[in-house]
Structure 1
């Protein structure tokens, strides 16, 4: 009987501890802060959006972790969202940074920003003529191209004529 009581007491304490660990702390679980784009290069502009600030929908943003300082999130016409922008400084180092917004009621919302040295945008493929000094059939000057083709044709015809004479035994 004592053993059963101890097991039940231990189980009740474990459940209570789990409930306390899972309880949200006010000011830390205030909603989500959307950071767009979430991956940027230094010098890029970032937009921050949240719908977690009740009332007038304004908030104060803090991008000091990445070196951008504070910015304002203002109410927008889109479903009670607060939107703000800041620019990542060109001197920002690669890494993951926490961006914070603090609502007027004291609620604190966080989101992550990843700074990289390479862009995630689609790479532009090169086009056009490359000046290598070798030239080609599709070079920029059609007169030079025609002259080159004519010279090759004359050389081929002359070579064929000489080989034909040699094969017949006429000599040179």
Structure 2
């Protein structure tokens, strides 16, 4: 039992020491390049940002993997990030591409961009009247629509009254 306790304690200390040795010396997630939107269709605009370069830093961006070439990331007021933009060429093929930003201080961060042929954005549905040539004899005027509904109601009531009389045997 005593030997098992030492083995478990020794393993726990080794794991803790390894975790401390690999922990970064700074706080925050400054090691990534955020890509928005992360999924885009060819011809779409992409914005990238990172806090890895510092509040007043700059970076050189490289989107040549997707065919967009280089772009610049400049300081912004957004959470002390550097931000840049590029346009995915219309000839881009579907796939996942690595986008790279190299800070003026030499630090390099990467992010992934997925190019698809179909948009994942919300579809826009048409609104209003569509001239199809079918129906719509009264038009969108509310007075005419109300008159049409009233005429249909009178016809339905009259038809019901006639069918009721016929069923009772009163004749027409």
Shorter-normalised TM-score: what interval? 0.5 to 0.7
Corresponding residue for residue 102 of structure 2 = 102
Q: Displacement of 1:86 after TM fit? A: 0.8
Corresponding residue for residue 32 of structure 1 = 32
CA separation of 1:31 and 1:134: change in aligned 2, threshold 3 A: same
TM-score, structure 1 normalization: 0.60
Over residues 2-56 of structure 1, what are the superposed CA-to-partner deviations in whole Å (9 max), with x where a residue is unaligned? xxxxxxxxxxxxxxxxxxxx9xxxxxxx921111221222222211112223696
Q: How many residues align?
A: 142
CA distance in 2 between counterparts of 1:58 and 1:134 reads: 62
Unaligned 5+ segments in structure 2 are: 1-21, 23-29
CA RMSD of aligned residues (A): 3.7
Write out aligned runs for 1:19-168 (5 A): 31-53=31-53, 57-77=57-77, 81-129=81-129, 133-135=134-136, 140-141=140-141, 142-143=143-144, 146-147=147-148, 149-150=150-151, 153-154=154-155, 157=158, 160-161=161-162, 164=165, 167-168=168-169
CA separation of 1:145 and 1:130: change in aligned 2, threshold 3 A: farther
Structure 1 runs of 4+ aligned residues shifted over 6 Å read: none
Moved more, 38-47 or 139-148: 139-148
Say if 1:97 and 1:112, in contact at 8 Å, map to a contact too.
yes
Q: Displacement of 1:62 after TM fit? A: 0.8
Higher-Rg structure is 1
Corresponding residue for residue 5 of structure 2 = none
| 1:146 partner SS | helix
TM-score, structure 2 normalization: 0.60
Moved more, 52-61 or 33-42: 52-61
| 2:151 partner SS | helix
